[in-house]
Amino acid sequence: MLATSDTPLKRTPLHALHVSLGAKMVPFAGYDMPVQYPAGVLKEHLHTRQKAGLFDVSHMGQVALRPKSGQVEDAALALERLVPQDMLALAPFRQRYAQFTNAAGCILDDLMVANFGDHLFAVVNAACKEADEAHLRAHLSDSCQVDSLADRALLALQGPRAEAVLAQFCAEAPAMRFMDAGPHEVAGLGCFVSRSGYTGEDGFEISVPAAQAEQLATALLSDPDVLPIGLGARDSLRLEAGLCLYGHDIDTTTTPVEGALEWSMQKSRHSGGARAGGYPGAETVLSQLASGAARRRVGLKPEGRAPVREGAPLFADQTSSEPIGAVTSGGFGPSLNAPVAMGYVPTALAINGTRLFAEVRGQRLPLRVAATPFVPNTYKR
């Protein structure tokens, strides 16, 4: 969502810091956001893979679901009316990836949900946050108080040095494992910390009161191993990690099964499970879980050096006139020194090694279906 003449761009609590650090600012999801800093996208990307990068993701939505009964299990069961994931089995101080579905079984948004012991904490996408909050209030207000935490910022510290850096400010950080989440004190500030992220690297996401966001960011950036990272490198990092970008790789026309997200749906929510169905579009999703979908999101590796971008049609051969799919994300993978992409193809062709062709500026460029992540993840389990 880009700004129009009568829609001024919003600013995150770190806007002044970005400008002082020399960031190039661009419109993104209605916000004025840093796309890169003077180091440039390539160096920012590689620095995150080698040391640690700090990302401002304060444009994301943060929401608390507080059960009116006082029992977090009731909030979990209520949320299962909207997502195909097992929320009841989400242990205290653990986090889980989920999707809101619509009546067609397609994805309204994807989100992270954490059990904070007495309530659930969710992070949703920036462009969808107002609709998501309305969706939650419309369907869960009978059992939950839905609170928008608009007074909080969100930082992501990612990379192999993230633990060592955060340990200087948060004594509990080294003991956390991938997808642990909960309230922690960071640099003397009351924060919510999860060991997760959007880069494929070990790292943390830190929710902090907006008024203290710049104080925390400045403290983290004081470590020489930490550089500020913009949206450009965030996108290339998540692409190498094979992670979906909502509105591109998944949207209201794609189901979780088509999006290759079956791993996120626990057996208790499958047909025959303890709590199968019960969410919008469950019949479609359950049918696809049992029998497969007609198409599937796959990784793609171009055989040449030219990147294949979003929207490029995919063909089964060099001469056919009808495309069999399309690229949804694509670019150059700095860690691989090679182009990578993702897209949708018929399930029969979604086999690693299958050779396809992408049409770029009138030319058919060969590529192969490939496993994701393209770069091995380094989560601390």
Longest alpha-carbon distance in the chain: 63
pTM: 0.96
Average pLDDT over residues 104-124: 98
Strand 52-56 vs strand 226-229: parallel, antiparallel, or unpaired?
parallel
- Has residue 336 got a pLDDT over 50? yes
Average pLDDT over residues 63-83: 98
State the residue for tokens 């198409």: 295
Average pLDDT over residues 124-133: 97
Average pLDDT over residues 205-213: 98
- What are the residue boundaries of the structural domains of the chain, listed by start? 15-58+151-240, 294-370
Q: What pLDDT digit, counting tens, does each position of 307-319 carry?
A: 999 999 999 999 9
Distance CA 194, CA 349 (A): 37
- Has residue 1 got a pLDDT over 70? no
Tell the CATH topology of 294-370. Answer: Elongation Factor Tu (Ef-tu); domain 3 (2.40.30)
- Has residue 306 got a pLDDT over 90? yes
Q: Which pLDDT band, with edges at 50, 70 and 90, does 3 fall under?
A: very low
- Has residue 274 got a pLDDT over 90? yes
Q: Where are the alpha helices (DSSP H) in 24-182?
A: 41-50, 72-79, 129-140, 162-167
Asked: is 15-58+151-240 a CATH 3.30.1360.120 domain? The reply is: yes
Residue whose C-alpha is closest to residue 276's, from 259, 289, 292, 260: 289
Confidence (pLDDT) at 7: 81
- Has residue 112 got a pLDDT over 80? yes
294-370 has the same fold as 15-58+151-240: no
